[in-house]
Copies of this chain bind each other. A is one copy, B any other.
Amino acid sequence: MDNIVAFGEILMRLSPPDHLRFFQASSFETSYSGAEFNTLASLQNWGLETQFVTKLPDNDFGNKVISEISRYRVGQKYIAKGGTRLGIYFLEKGSAIRPGKVIYDRADSAVANIEPGDINWEEVLKEAEWFHWSGITPGISRAAAQECLRACRVASKMNITISCDLNYRSMLWKWGKEPKEVLPEILALTNVILSDLATLFKMLGKEKIDPDYSMPETLGDYYEEVLAKCPKLEFLPTTLRYSKSASHQKIGGIMFSAGNIVTSEIKEIIPIVDRLGTGDAFMAGIIYGLSQEWDTQKVLDFAVASSCFKHTISGDINLASLDEINAIMQGDLSALVKR
């Protein structure tokens, strides 16, 4: 499998250097990223062929994003041009007991105002084998939600595997509907969902739950309830994150598939260089592993290792080679200098 398409938004990320707070910054480090694109950049880096679909303003920043996508060799030929602005997010990195902070300034972006016909999904997906979306996109605007649904319907009709990183952001969803009014229809078409169970239940409009991941054997009923709502679901991986501080994280994973549950060892990363994009790195790991038709344990272990490695890299994108992730997966955390 090597033709993966994703739809989503790329934002300009503006972040004070070093450990400075917004109040202190007289400059911002600038990069361009988005959950779905970050995932594709990893996959392309690992040797798969990818296409990213979005809408960009027809100005210097739209061009800049095209260049950034190309820099990771991700395809960009189906991107629509138009609208007025590129969305922005401001990131203040945390440290030790001080939390990181995100301020979104993404209203009215080109993607938020995407229009039917901007993307010809039949054309985009004609050679695709996989379609990926994330829960961020339908949270942006009604138009983005509709486009996301449209894409999934086409993909589903073409029997293309659909994956989703549920990525719930409470600061989005200001456009008039709640997730549970929108997402169930799209999730029902989706084959792979990365989410914790509590969030997924919430998104599906179900009751509040508090699953105990330390006892996987107690989770079966939850998974069954999800399957009832998401009949196409084949894989349901979950990132298990234990946040000791902004500089100290522990990452593990659990994955349900065809009635079986596998869990992965928990790894510790200290200190953290950049936490953003570690979920996207997990998602990329899952897609890559499935594309290689590995067994579910290996798929999950690879995703956990990918996510762990990302914590050591600046920016949102997991610049890790397959060799580097394999070394982590095999338990070598000693990080001896290669020379």
Q: Which A residues form the contact surface with B (CB < 8 A)?
A: 14, 17-31, 59-61, 63-64, 66-68, 70-73, 84-85, 88, 90, 92, 94-105, 107-108, 169, 171, 243-248, 267, 269-273, 275-276, 308-309, 311-315, 319, 324, 327-328, 333-339
Select A336's contact among B88, B96, B99, B308, beta carbons within 8 Å: B99
**Residue contact B246 to A335, C-beta cutoff 8 Å:** yes
Given contacts A97-B328, A275-B337, A335-B100, contact A31 B23 (CB under 8 A): no
CA distance in complex: A305, B85 (Å): 31
Give min CB distance, A241 to chain B, whole Å. Answer: 9
CA distance in complex: A205, B60 (Å): 33
Select A243's contact among B60, B328, B335, beta carbons within 8 Å: B335
**Residue contact B27 to A17, C-beta cutoff 8 Å:** yes
Q: Which B residues are in CB contact (< 8 Å) with A26?
A: 26, 29-31
CA distance in complex: A245, B268 (Å): 10
CA distance in complex: A45, B30 (Å): 22
**Residue contact B95 to A273, C-beta cutoff 8 Å:** yes
**Residue contact A337 to B85, C-beta cutoff 8 Å:** no
**Residue contact B88 to A339, C-beta cutoff 8 Å:** no
Q: Which B residues are in CB contact (< 8 Å) with A88?
A: 88, 105
Residue of chain B at shortest CB distance from A333: B97
CA distance in complex: A334, B90 (Å): 21
**Residue contact B243 to A270, C-beta cutoff 8 Å:** no
Given contacts A28-B27, A31-B26, A96-B271, contact A335 B245 (CB under 8 A): yes
CA distance in complex: A324, B95 (Å): 13
CA distance in complex: A326, B99 (Å): 13
Q: Which B residues are in CB contact (< 8 Å) with A85?
A: 105, 107
Given contacts A19-B314, A70-B71, A271-B271, contact A338 B102 (CB under 8 A): yes
CA distance in complex: A73, B19 (Å): 23
